[in-house]
Amino acid sequence: MKRLPLLLCLLFATLTLHAADAKKPNVLFIAIDDLRDWVGYLHHNEQTKTPNIDRLAKMGTAFTRSYCAAPVCNPSRAALMSGMRPSKTGVYDNNDDWRAVIPEDKPLTAAFRRAGYFVYGAGKIYHGSYERRSEWDDYLENEGGGKAEKQLSKNAKNDGVGGIKFAPLDCADSDLPDWNITNYGIEQLGKEQDKPFFLAVGLHKPHMAWNVPQKWYDMFPLSDIKLPPYKENDLADIPPAGVAMARPEGDHKAMLDSGRWKEAIQAYLAAIAYTDMNIGRLLDAFDKSPHKDNTIIVFWCDHGWHLGEKHHWRKFALWEESTRAPLLWVVPGLTKPGSVCERTVDFMSIYPTLMDVCGIPKPAHLDGVSIKPLLADPAAAWSTPAMTTYKFNNHGVRNEGWRHIRYANGDEELYNEATDPNEWTNLAKDPQYNGTKAELAKVMPTTNHEPVGESVGKKEQKREKKKKAKAE
């Protein structure tokens, strides 16, 4: 009989623990690949059609000046998920195996698991070349749909221009991987859960190839397509290090020679519209979810994209087009529907902010700062600029009025964003702005980790694949 009180105490403690867990907010973590600032709520390209992303923006706080940690998939995602900048880890490029320098106890997923969360994932959260499934409690392993992306429509001329790949498809929306990734998110949102959850849904489009069903191309008649702001001699005042990043004789020359610039714009807009449709499906499921009132949403994109501005295509540069990307937050009880924040932030803020709004202690290794004060009051004072790094010791710093770029060889660029939003006039050599450059440069790291490169682990993985291929 003496054991009964002890059993009752244990039962009470268990019930109390479950009750505490139930109060923890869930997180819907939406990642989009290669989506720049061409979304409706940012009004940077009025041709775009993103009603569902705009719908999400109205649900909480939309950031108008939000920037990536790196304008490349792998380092951007590794930095965001680990909380450590490229200059600290040495992960600068797509061939750098982040697993060699980011232990399993450091990522965002680990912080949530330590806090008692069930961690789900689907699609592209980390760069696809490097996976560590042991971080996740459950992950969608088979996205399917790969063959459908090769079913080109009869209207497709070919598969694109050089390395810029695009074509309309003869398939259904449901034939592509992003449909299945979205389905996974919908399924988890509809489940009863006995633990708080962190649900990561990573959509691939508008990453190339911009191959989506023909109907999405039809939404953007070629005769209506407008080219982005462009200046013929834009690179005249850019230093050699910047011109090297622009690579005007590469993708851009090929696009001009092909005469298909407008077709490429059409294709990118079509891929964005396809992704927006899947966001709508996910939000519909969220609205019906039993977890709606206790779930935080954070929507982010890994970096921006150039479509001819500065004679450049793709990301891989430190200008506005490749570094700016959408960021949206919905936090029950904190954010106000339809609020807009014009403060300058970068995506290193996502990890610490999630810790703050979920009531989880912040790990000591985080480089970013929480933007919780801006979620509560978008007009709050803010003095922390955004910083983006591309490759070793090349950094760009952006605040509300300026962008300062400093390359590893000492070359510099400086732009007055208030008077020159297209960054057409480089002021770096004008001595009257030395103080502005010096102030922005204070944010740049004083030490830069050497590039990790392809780790032993990745090389071993390749050897194992070769062995397997020979055995078969």
Place of tokens 């660029």: 413
Calpha distance 84→102 (Å, rounded) = 9
127 is catalytic: yes
Calpha distance 98→35 (Å, rounded) = 23
Q: Could you give the strand order of the β-sheet that contains 395-398, starting from the edge strand earlier in sequence?
A: 386-389, 395-398, 402-406, 412-416
How does DSSP assign 234-261, residue by residue?
GGGGS-HHHHHHH-IIIIIHHHHHHT-H
Pick the catalytic residue: 9, 44, 73, 404? 73
Calpha distance 363→327 (Å, rounded) = 23
- Which is nearest to 454 in space by CA: 104, 135, 101, 126? 101
Pick the catalytic residue: 68, 127, 171, 449? 127
* Residues 25/295, Cβ–Cβ less than 8 Å: yes
Kind of pairing, strands 61-67 and 327-330? antiparallel
303 is catalytic: no
* Residues 275/178, Cβ–Cβ less than 8 Å: yes
Which strand (E) or helix (H) includes residue 330?
A: strand 327-330
- Residue 396 β-bridge partners: 388, 405
* Residues 173/271, Cβ–Cβ less than 8 Å: no
Q: What residues are annotated to the active site? A: 73, 127
